[in-house]
Amino acid sequence: MKKKVDTPIKKKAELDGNTEIMISTGSTLLNLAISGSRVRGGGIPGGIMFEAFGPSSSGKTVLLSEVAGAIQRQGGDIQFNDPEARLNKQFAQLFDLNTDDLTVHEPDTVTEVFTNIRNWEPKGKAKIHGIMTDSLAALSTNMEMDNEDGDKMGMRRGKEFSEGFRKNARLLKQHNYIMGCSNQIRDRAATGPGEQFTVPGGKAIGFYASLRLRFFPPEKISKIKIVQGKEVKKVIGIKARVAVYKSSVDHPYREATLYIIFDYGIDDIRANLQFIKDFTKNTIYSVNERQLDKSIEKSISVIESSGREEELKEQVIDLWEEIQSKFEIERKPKKR
């Protein structure tokens, strides 16, 4: 077995006695991209708002559901604002999310979402509770609901988001809530340098979000089976690239690849096996230099049947930390 590297991340955690609670995204690689140099294994800390934005069907709702399920498993309560009324029991069960213990709202307006947050009193005694909104782009303003001047609606919507986040940012921190929001992305005409896209809600969301995760257009994951002598190909999921677009949690601009399988959710084993294979340039999937199989599906089966999920995860964390250690800046401290 390969000797583990004693990285600066590990040393810092040992010296600080770092016991900070982090919530998993369901993806080891995304957890690390978000806060892997802050605490071993990474994840999302409490007391912040994060935004997952990108094109349709790129995995944003899945991410919110994975985070909600992780909070619930740690004993936290979940408020789910679902303006598109898409959350159902069958979908929620994929993420070990108990809908009977959810506080579900189907708000129409921006104002309703923030009113729901202020009026919420979680019953559990966990250190972290969660508020998920899927999606911000589906929310209207009171002006729209009253069929008032359409030219003013966009400006009004931005003001309502700004006011809501400003009034609730401190509340999230005080109660250690994690507020997760999904959002769309819209292209705009190139007018010079800078961002060539916008997100619904104006600049307030980007300003108040401690963490912004940008989802890029996904690739299809297909599987081929022989049925009655015929080759049948079916799309079974997607592969999505996610970038840490903004972060006050840890270093920004890291990226992670998510593999999302339909009727399953984020496939962490698949991503971890692929990460090790890509980095080591092996032709066969492996765990700690023990070869598994050339087939990803068979390798996943071996990992699950032998109960080696944690061993695989720990190797990925060790490897990721080893990579990060190569970029540690060794400079003389500045004079004060």
Tens-digit pLDDT profile for residues 100-137:
889 999 999 999 999 999 999 999 889 999 999 998 98
263 pLDDT band, cuts 50/70/90, is very high
180, part of any domain: yes
Residue 159 is part of which domain span? 22-266
pLDDT per residue as tens digits for the range 264-287: 999 999 999 999 999 988 899 999
> How far, in Å, CA of 255 to CA of 62, rounded?
18
288, part of any domain: no
155, part of any domain: yes
Q: What is the DSSP string of 33-98?
A: HHHTTTSTT--EESSEEEEEE-STTSSHHHHHHHHHHHHHHTT--EEEE-TT----HHHHHTTT--
306, part of any domain: no
Q: What is the pLDDT of residue 171?
A: 94
Q: What is the pLDDT of residue 194?
A: 59
237, part of any domain: yes
pLDDT per residue as tens digits for the range 183-222: 998 766 555 565 667 887 778 889 999 999 999 999 999 9
222, part of any domain: yes
pLDDT per residue as tens digits for the range 25-66: 999 999 999 999 999 999 999 999 999 999 999 999 999 999
- 148-162 mean pLDDT: 69
Q: How many domains, the chain?
A: 1
304, part of any domain: no
151 pLDDT band, cuts 50/70/90, is very low
Q: What is the pTM of this model?
A: 0.89
CATH of the domain at 217: 3.40.50.300
pLDDT per residue as tens digits for the range 296-308: 999 999 999 999 9
